[in-house]
Copies of this chain bind each other. A is one copy, B any other.
C-alpha cells in the first residue's frame, strides 16, 4: 500500500517511519524545502525528532501532487494549518484516497473538528482520526503503543487497522469519530492545568486529582456532543489524557509548567518551535462551553491563566476551596 504523510513535524515523521518499517511505500511531505533536504540528507529529522533514524526507502518530498497519488493519505499538520493544507491539496485535484487525520485540535474559524473540516472541503467520506497515547518520541523508539482509529467507513477501517498494526503498535477501531476528536482536543487543556500544578511545585496527588476532575469535565462536555463512554474512558480519552498530563514529552504540559512558574504566555510563545495545541483549544472550548452552559472549572481556569493573566496559585486555591461536595455531583 502506498502511504503519504503530510507534515514532517515530530508525529508525522514518527508515523511515516512506523508505516515504512511496516513494509509500505511511504512519501513524507514537508512544507519547507530546507527541512525536506535536511531530513533526506541525514535520514533523521534533527529539528523535530532527533535521534530517530529513518528507513532508507522512506521518501521525502515537498511536492503535494505526489501525495494525491497515494492509496492512503495521512495528515499530520497542526490543527491551525489544516484548512490551508487541505485547500492546497484540493487545488491539485480530487482526493479519492482515504484520509487519516493525526491533528489534535479544532478549527478556529468555524469550530469544526478536523475530520469535519476535511470532509466538507474534500467531499471525502473516508476520513479517519487516529488518536491515543502516542508520543512521537516513543513511537519513534518502538515503545509499545496502543491507539484508536476512528471513522464511519467500517470496511476501510478494518483494512487500515490491518495495514497499520505491528507487534509494537496496537490499533483499536472505533465508530465514535466525534468523541475521539473532542477528547483529543480537551486533554491538551487539562495537560496545561497539570503542568501549572507541577510548575507550582505541587505533587502527584494534586496532578491525579486534576486528571480525575479533568476527565469529569471532559465527560460533561462530551455528553452534550454525543460522545460515547467507551471513548471517554478509552485510549483516546483517558489514555491520552494520562499520557499528556504526566509525560515529560508533552508540549502542553510544558507550557503549563512555565505558566505555573510565573512566565507569561507571550514569553513562552516567543521561544517555542513546536505548536502546543492546548493554547488554542482552551479558547475554542471555552467559547463552546459558555454557549452550551457546560460547567468546566479546570478548562475555565486554564483559559484565565492563558488569556486573563490570572495567577496559577490563585486558581488552585480557588478550586480547592469550592464548597465540599459528594463525589459524582
Q: Which residues of B contact A141 (CB under 8 A)?
A: 203
Cα-based distance from A134 to B208 in the complex (angstroms): 9
Q: Which residue of B lies closest to A236 (CB)?
A: B327
The answer to whether A205 touches B133 (Cβ under 8 A) is yes
Copies in the complex: 2
* Interfacial residues of chain A within 215-230, with CB under 8 A of chain B in the complex: 215-216, 219, 228-230
Of listed A137, A162, A174, A320, residue having the most chain B CB within 10 A: A320
Interchain CB contact (< 8 A) of A206 among B144, B206, B230, B325? B144
Chain B residue numbers with a CB within 8 Å of A328 are: 174, 228-231, 234
Tell me which residues from 196 to 213 in chain A have a Cβ below 8 Å from any Cβ of chain B.
197, 202-209, 211-213
> From residue 297 to 329 of chain A, which have CB atoms closer than 8 A to chain B?
316-317, 320-321, 324-328
Do A205 and B134 form a contact, CB below 8 Å, given A211-B239, A316-B144?
yes
Whether the pair A143, B203 counts as a contact (CB closer than 8 A) is yes
Q: Determine the distance from Cα of A161 to Cα of B230 in the docked complex, in whole angstroms.
A: 33
A204 shortest CB reach to chain B, Å:
4
A100 is an interface residue with CB less than 8 A from chain B: no
Is A238 an interface residue, CB under 8 A from the partner? yes
Is A242 an interface residue, CB under 8 A from the partner?
A: yes
Question: What residues make up the interface of A, taking CB atoms closer than 8 Å to B?
Answer: 132-135, 137-139, 141, 143-146, 148, 161-162, 165, 167-168, 170-174, 197, 202-209, 211-213, 215-216, 219, 228-231, 233-235, 238-240, 242-243, 246-249, 316-317, 320-321, 324-328
22 examples of A-B residue contacts, CB within 8 angstroms: A133-B208, A134-B205, A135-B203, A135-B204, A138-B204, A141-B203, A143-B203, A144-B202, A144-B205, A144-B206, A145-B205, A145-B209, A167-B317, A170-B320, A171-B324, A173-B327, A208-B235, A208-B240, A211-B239, A230-B328, A231-B327, A246-B246
